[in-house]
C-alpha cells in the first residue's frame, strides 16, 4: 500500500493555482518532492498534514485523509524549512515535550528524546539552550523532533537549507540512515536536485502546480548512448583519427573534451585503439548520464510520462 496518495489534488489561493489536478503515490523509502519555488511542494506537504483543505481531490496518508483525522498525525513527523525551535529551552526538554504531545507517555518521551538526540549526534549538547546551537545543530534538532515519536513517515522541508557543503553532506547521510537503518520513510521537499540524487530512492517532480514526472531516481539518472572523453594531450590527433574511421565527435570549447553520440560496444574498442595509436593522454572516459535537470528541459509531455516505465 502506498504511504501517501494524491488523487486529482487541486488547491488555489485566490487567483493562484498552487496545485492543478495532481495525482501521485509515494511508497516506503526516501522520496524527493522536487520543484522550484511556487511549484506546489509546500502546499502538497500541508495538504498531507491536513493543515489545508483541497479544493478538489484527496490527499491520503496511510490510507486516511489527514484533514479528517488528527490521529493519523501520531504516525507523521514534520520538519519545516524555517526556524521553529524555542530559544531558551534545551533540546532534551523540547523533544520530550514534542513526544508527549505526539502521544508518548512521559517516561517514554524522555527516553526517546535522549535516544533520538544521540542518533542525530547531539547527545552531549542536549541540555544546552537551543539558542546557543549552530545552524547545523538546529537542523539536526528539527530532524530529531520529527522522529521523536517514531513516525511511519516524516516530511522534511528543505532539510539542508543554510548548511555549508560539509553540513549538507552530513545531513543527507543522516537522512539516508533514517530511511535505511531506522526504517522511517522520508519525504524531502527541496529545490536542490543534488540533494535528491544523493539521498532519495524516488522522486516526484512538480512544476507550477503540475506533476512533471515521478518514479525511481535511478530512472532519471540512467546511462545514455553518449560517450564523454576528456584528453590532456593529443586531442586533435584523436579527433582526426576518429573522423577517419567514420565517427563524428563533437569537440568542446577547450578542445580537450570530446562527445560521441550513439556509441555502440565496437566504438569503445575503436576509441581505445585511436587513443593508443595517437599517443594521447586520456584523463576521463565515461558514458554520459541523464540528470534530474533534464526533466525541466525535456520537451516530452510531462503529465503522462513516468520515469519508471
Partner 1 sequence: MSSRPAEVFDLGYRGYEGERTGRWARRDAIWRDGIRISLGLGRGVGAKVAPWLLLALALVPMVVLVVVAAFVGPATNPDDFELPSYADYYGWAMVPLALFAAVVAPLLICPDRSDRVLSLYAARPITPLDYVGARWAAFATVALAAAWAPEAVLFTWNVLDAEHPGSFLRDNWEVVPRFLAAGALVATVLTTLALLVSSFATRRAYASVAMLAVIFIGSAIGGIAEDNFSGGAADAVSLVGLPQATTDAVRWIFDDEVDRPVSGGVALLWLLGLTIVLAAWLVRRTNRLVRG
Among 36, 87, 250, 308, binds partner 1 (CB under 8 A): 87
Distance CA 260, CA 225 (A): 8
144 lies in the site for partner 1, by CB under 8 A: no
- Given a contact cutoff of 8 angstroms between Cβ atoms, the answer to whether 26 and 59 are in contact is no
Say how many residues touch partner 1, by CB under 8 A: 42
Q: What is the largest CA-CA distance in the chain?
A: 78
Strands 202-207 and 30-34: parallel
37 lies in the site for partner 1, by CB under 8 A: no
| Torsion angles phi and psi, residue 212, rounded to 5 | -85, -55
Distance CA 141, CA 295 (A): 33
Apex 141 CA angle, 87 and 176, nearest 5: 160
Give me the least distance between CB of 116 and partner 1, in Å please: 9
- Given a contact cutoff of 8 angstroms between Cβ atoms, the answer to whether 283 and 254 are in contact is no
83 lies in the site for partner 1, by CB under 8 A: yes
- Chain position carrying cell 518521551: 109
| DSSP state letter for 129 | B
Within 186-245, the residues that bind partner 1 by CB under 8 A are none
Determine the interface stretch with partner 1 among 84-92, 194-202, 215-223, 234-242 (rule: CB under 8 A): 84-92
5 lies in the site for partner 1, by CB under 8 A: no
294 is written with which cell numbers?
A: 533534464
The mark string for 152-191 relative to partner 1 (x by CB under 8 A, - otherwise) is ---x-------------------------xxx--------
125 lies in the site for partner 1, by CB under 8 A: no
Among 1, 37, 101, 165, binds partner 1 (CB under 8 A): 101
The smaller minimum CB distance to partner 1, of residues 63 and 183, is found at: 183
Count CA within 13 A, CB hemisphere, residue 147. Answer: 27
Residues in the chain: 309
Among 103, 255, 262, 279, binds partner 1 (CB under 8 A): 103
Determine the interface stretch with partner 1 among 28-36, 142-150, 213-221, 237-245 (rule: CB under 8 A): 142-150
Which positions touch partner 1 (CB under 8 A)?
46, 49, 51-52, 70-74, 76-78, 80, 82-88, 93, 97-98, 100-106, 108, 112, 115, 118-119, 145, 149-150, 155, 181-183
Amino acid at each position: 500500500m502506498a504511504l501517501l496518495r494524491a488523487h486529482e489534488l487541486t488547491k488555489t489561493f485566490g487567483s493562484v493555482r498552487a496545485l492543478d489536478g495532481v495525482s501521485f503515490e509515494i511508497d516506503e523509502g526516501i522520496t524527493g518532492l522536487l520543484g522550484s519555488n511556487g511549484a506546489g511542494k509546500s502546499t502538497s506537504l500541508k495538504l498531507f498534514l491536513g493543515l489545508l483543505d483541497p479544493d478538489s481531490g484527496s490527499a491520503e496518508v496511510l490510507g486516511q485523509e489527514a484533514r479528517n483525522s488528527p490521529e493519523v498525525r501520531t504516525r507523521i513527523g514534520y520538519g519545516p524549512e524555517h526556524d521553529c525551535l524555542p530559544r531558551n529551552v534545551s533540546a532534551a526538554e523540547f523533544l520530550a515535550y514534542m513526544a508527549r504531545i505526539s502521544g508518548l507517555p512521559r517516561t517514554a518521551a524522555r527516553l526517546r528524546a535522549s535516544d533520538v538526540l544521540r542518533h542525530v549526534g547531539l547527545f552531549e549538547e542536549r541540555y544546552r539552550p537551543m539558542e546557543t546551537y549552530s545552524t547545523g545543530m538546529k537542523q539536526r534538532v528539527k530532524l530529531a523532533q520529527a522522529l521523536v515519536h517514531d513516525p511511519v513517515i516524516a516530511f522534511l522541508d528543505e532539510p539542508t537549507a543554510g548548511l555549508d557543503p560539509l553540513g549538507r553532506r552530513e545531513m543527507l547521510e543522516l537522512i539516508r540512515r533514517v530511511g535505511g537503518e531506522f526504517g522511517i520513510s522520508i519525504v524531502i521537499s527541496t529545490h536542490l536536485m543534488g540533494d535528491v540524487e544523493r539521498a532519495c530512492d524516488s522522486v516526484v517532480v512538480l512544476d507550477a502546480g503540475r506533476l512533471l514526472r515521478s518514479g525511481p531516481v535511478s530512472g532519471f539518472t540512467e546511462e545514455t548512448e553518449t560517450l564523454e572523453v576528456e584528453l590532456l594531450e593529443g586531442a586533435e590527433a584523436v579527433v582526426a583519427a576518429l573522423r577517419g574511421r567514420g565517427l563524428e565527435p563533437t569537440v568542446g570549447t577547450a578542445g580537450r573534451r570530446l562527445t560521441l553520440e550513439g556509441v555502440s560496444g565496437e566504438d569503445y574498442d575503436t576509441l581505445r585503439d585511436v587513443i593508443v595509436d595517437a599517443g594521447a593522454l586520456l584523463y576521463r572516459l565515461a558514458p554520459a548520464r541523464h540528470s534530474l535537470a533534464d526533466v525541466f528541459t525535456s520537451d516530452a509531455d510531462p503529465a503522462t510520462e513516468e520515469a519508471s516505465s
